[in-house]
Amino acid sequence: MVCFRCSCTHTEFFAGFQIVSLLEDTCVEIYEVDGDKYTKLLDVHLPEAYEVYTYAGAIGEDLTGVFINASFPISLYSGHACANVPEAAPFCDHMVEQLLPVSEWGELHFVPPIVGRNENAGYVQSYT
């Protein structure tokens, strides 16, 4: 899960994610991961196809690394209502992305710089 922590104090500025069921009767487990330790945060039942569950993190909470397991395929969207990227820059960027299952991740990732920010901020990350 990719989210961005914000040092903001406003309750509307939060990291979060949305789970969309693609089929009826989808059961979802949400875990917090710390190294090799998984702690279940909650179970969610989505009885209808295309039903949406929204999880909003606490102020300042970083949801990076949350593990989500579902009984059927889901769509997962992650983001932040008002992130400052980088944290010291007061821009209040709305960020959202649809996440792929971990099994579909590649080994080479291109991250472009953000327009108006440090042009050298983009990088290539290889996981091997």
Per residue in 75-116, pLDDT (tens digit) is: 999 987 777 776 677 777 778 889 888 888 887 777 676 666
Q: Is the pTM of this model over 0.75?
A: no
Q: Contact 70/19 with Cβ under 8 angstroms? A: yes
Provide the residue ranges of all domains of the chain, joining segments of one domain with +.
15-103
